[in-house]
Amino acid sequence: MTVHPLPTTEHVQPGIDVPKKIADVNWRDPKRYLWLLVPATPGMVALSWLLVWTTGWTPFWWTGAVLTFVVMPIVDHVLGRDTRHRAPDEALAALEGDRYYRAATHLYLPAQYLSLIFACWLWAGGGWLHIAPVGKLGLMVATGVVGGVANNAAHELGHKRGRAERWLSKVALAQTCYGQFYVEHNRGHHVRVATAEDPASARFRENVYGFAVRSVTGSTRSAWRLEAKRLARKGHSRWSVRNDVLNAWLLSAAMLVGLTVWFGAVDLPWLAGQAVVGIFLLEAMNFVSHYGLRRRRLASGRYEPLRPAHCWNSTAVMTNVFLLHLQRHSDHHLHPLRRFQAVRDTEQAPQLPGGYVAMLVLSLCPPLWRRVMDPRVLEVYGGDISLTALRPRDAKRIARPQVRGDQG
């Protein structure tokens, strides 16, 4: 299948009736109104409280976790694969130019912060309910999921050229204090994806916990270096508000100070916990989307161009909605400026056996993950383990017998 370049939104004439233009090519987006579920996601925090308040059944504090990690994979399984409604080339410009779709990301932010404020109120003793620590933990996970989905919305916004949407990306990331992602993902990960130099590309036989630590630390160092170099070229100090890592962190600091003044220091442990949950969810998505895949190094020392085969994809319907087509990961990497509604599935990309959320849950048990995924990685490379994204110690172990053979 040939991947065609995306017509840019500049090709859409001012005043065009975008929905009508899409209809002119005899195609409509079957998920058009499902995208409104995305900004409704933060409502799971209030839903948890409402269910506990009306029923008195405290396990409902874990509603957010159950909806995300149990119900969504089940719904994906029931609905099956989302492969029948691929947008045709001639609809892409009008589809991307349709401002209706921006509601999914732009409306998410006010809902995100309203839910965070509500959670802080509950942790501080509001809500006319006594919440036991286990209930507060469930509320923390739900709030962290909201932050994790916000990180994905920030991923969408951060790829856009408009200055306003780029700042909204930093605002979305502020909840989890992970503003360095704004720099590293766009200027680091997208350049080095599926190479040994990319901390956000998971290695073969690596587990999600070790990967998350390696990715967070490596990506933070890389983001700082990238900004230091950019500012040095312009004659500015890295220690200035022009530094996109620093100004993103300042947004998080302002948020934490404001919430602490408003609700008290009692909320700080829960705010830290929800940030860890949100960051882990983001990094787990990185783990799932590139696990074990590696671009081949050429004789020149450079890596081969990125191909669809360097990203794991999925056609799970509901996860595609809530993650803004993140599962169509190959097309996203090939066309990073495309808005989510115009990102398409790619036939040449390796497919996961489940949606990203279902695979995230599977990754929490590393032996099960490896049993399911390692054979699939090897299948991509015709059974040649040396072509996979090996961990350094595994690469040495494989190379050692070859050296002995040469010496003999």
pLDDT, tens digit (0-9, with 9 covering 90-100), for 24-33: 556 788 899 9
Asked if residue 359 is part of any domain, the answer here is no
Phi-psi sector, 306: left (phi>0), alpha (psi -120 to 50), beta: beta
pLDDT at 401 over 70: no
Asked if residue 28 is part of any domain, the answer here is no
Confidence of residue 12 (pLDDT cuts 50, 70, 90): very low
Confidence of residue 366 (pLDDT cuts 50, 70, 90): very high
Asked if residue 246 is part of any domain, the answer here is yes
Q: Which of 13-17, 351-355, 398-402 has the lowest mean pLDDT?
A: 13-17
**Which DSSP string do the residues of 204-262 spell out, in sequence order?**
BT--HHHHHHHHHHHHHHHHHHHHHHHHHHTT--SSSTT-HHHHHHHHHHHHHHHHHHH
Residue labelled with tokens 């732009």: 106
Q: Average pLDDT for residues 196-218, to the nearest whole number? A: 97
**Token code pair at residue 19:** 């929905």
Query: The pTM is what?
Result: 0.90
Cβ-contact 150, 175 below 8 angstroms: yes
Cβ-contact 166, 160 below 8 angstroms: yes
User: Mean pLDDT for the chain?
Assistant: 91
Q: Average pLDDT for residues 180-185, to the nearest whole number? A: 96
The whole-angstrom separation of Cα 61 and Cα 317 is 26
Asked if residue 93 is part of any domain, the answer here is no
The whole-angstrom separation of Cα 13 and Cα 8 is 11
What percent of the chain has pLDDT above 70?
Answer: 91
- What pLDDT was estimated at residue 33? 92
**Token code pair at residue 59:** 């396990």
Q: Average pLDDT for residues 364-375, to the nearest whole number? A: 98
Asked if residue 157 is part of any domain, the answer here is yes
pLDDT tens sequence across 313-333 = 999 999 999 999 999 999 999
- The closest of 199, 255, 195 to 223, measured between CA atoms, is 199
pLDDT tens sequence across 90-100 = 888 889 889 99
Domain limits at 52?
36-79+99-306
pLDDT tens sequence across 71-87 = 999 999 999 887 766 78
pLDDT at 15 over 80: no
Residue 359 burial (C-beta neighbours within 10 Å; 0-12, 13-18, 19+): buried
Q: Average pLDDT for residues 266-276, to the nearest whole number? A: 98
Asked if residue 41 is part of any domain, the answer here is yes
pLDDT tens sequence across 216-251 = 999 999 999 999 999 999 999 999 999 999 999 999
pLDDT at 205 over 90: yes
- The closest of 94, 145, 88 to 115, measured between CA atoms, is 145
Asked if residue 209 is part of any domain, the answer here is yes
**Token code pair at residue 76:** 């994906």
**Token code pair at residue 2:** 């040939």
- What pLDDT was estimated at residue 129? 87
**Token code pair at residue 55:** 């029923």
| Count of domains for the chain | 1
3-state DSSP assignment of residue 20 = helix
- What pLDDT was estimated at residue 25? 59
Confidence of residue 110 (pLDDT cuts 50, 70, 90): very high
Confidence of residue 11 (pLDDT cuts 50, 70, 90): very low
